[in-house]
Amino acid sequence: MGMTSLIITDPAITNPTWFLGSFEFREPMTTATDFLVALVCWYVVYRMVKTPKGQRNSRYFKLILGYFTCFAIGMTSAAWLGHGLQAYLDPKFKIIGWGMGATGIMLLQLTSFLIIQPGVKMRWHQLFHWLFIVEWLLAVGLMISPWSSFMVTQINSTFGLILLVLPMHVYNLKKMRDQRSKRIILALAYSAIPGFIYSNAISLHPWLNYHDISHLLMAGFMILMYRGLRQFSMIPKTFD
**Residue of 75, 33, 30 whose CA lies nearest to 216:** 33
pLDDT reported for residue 5: 53
Question: In CATH, what number does 17-232 get?
Answer: 1.20.1070
- CA 179/CA 43 separation, integer angstroms: 27
Residues recorded for the chain: 240
Contact 121, 110 (CB under 8 A): no
pLDDT of residue 2: 44
What's the pLDDT score for residue 72? Answer: 98
Percent of the chain residues past pLDDT 70, beyond the cut: 98
Among 204, 229, 214, 188, which Cα is nearest to 37's?
Answer: 214
Mean pLDDT over 199-214 rounds to 96
Of the candidates 115, 103, 100, which has an alpha carbon nearest to the alpha carbon of residue 61? 115
Q: What would the pLDDT profile of 150-194 be if each residue is shown by its tens digit?
A: 999 999 999 999 999 999 999 999 999 999 999 999 999 999 999
Task: Measure CA 228 to chain center.
Answer: 15
Question: pLDDT tens digits for 97-137?
Answer: 999 999 999 999 999 999 999 999 888 899 999 999 999 99
Q: Tell me, what amino acid is at 88? A: Y
Specify the pLDDT at position 12. Answer: 86
